[in-house]
Amino acid sequence: MRLTNEQHQIISSILRKYFGDHTLILLFGSRVDDMAKGGDIDLYIEPEITDPDAIVLAKLKTMAEIHLALGDQKIDLVINRRKNDILPIYQVAKKTGIPL
């Protein structure tokens, strides 16, 4: 996994702060490949919160706080608010992702 321990802790704590302590968080994409270079931070979550408006607000606050903490990094946040949805991106994230 190509995140530092500090980045890992920052991302996890911020996501749990806004989406709930029992939120599933997976890092997927190029950052799970130790041999790759660069790449954005792709995050898949299954939030504890369920209200659509609360999820939108949580995403905005999360992205702002992560950018303040980590600087100018491209971050993609994939949110599966219905845990039984099986969109292809969800399947890839769950199959290849690493829990944070």
Class of domain 5-99 (CATH, top level): alpha beta
**What does the DSSP 8-state code read for residue 3?**
S
Q: Which phi and psi angles does 63 have, rounded to 5°?
A: -60, -40
pLDDT of residue 3: 86
Q: Give pLDDT tens digits for 35-78.
A: 677 778 999 999 999 999 999 999 999 999 999 999 988 999 99
pLDDT of residue 83: 72
Amino acid letter, 56: V
Higher pLDDT, 72 or 79: 79
- Per-domain residue ranges for the chain? 5-99
Question: Which H/E stretch holds residue 25?
Answer: strand 24-28
Categorize the per-residue pLDDT at 9 as very low, low, confident or very high, splitting at 50, 70 and 90: very high
pLDDT of residue 35: 67
